[in-house]
Structure 1
């Protein structure tokens, strides 16, 4: 249902970017940002799995 939605695509792109930042520099702040983005996606699109 959300696969081609522009908001979902933007949220997922941001999550990918944050995951890259966390991979490059694993610290508490970057981890917090990843978790917060995952929570935002879960709120916006309940039932969509973003675990990777």
Structure 2
């Protein structure tokens, strides 16, 4: 009986703690795709700059 109580208490605690850790976003797929595209462009520019620095 004591183990059952502890399992219930643990489950209840986790159900309260874990959902509050999630970040809620209302981004649309288009916004996310634009953000990813921008990040890829930035990374490509940084790699290009690094290559130029090594070559010159």
TM-score (norm 1): 0.42
Please state which structure has a larger fraction of its residues in helix. 2
* Higher relative contact order, chain-length normalized (CA < 8 Å, sep 6+): 1
TM-score (norm 2): 0.39
Larger radius of gyration: 2
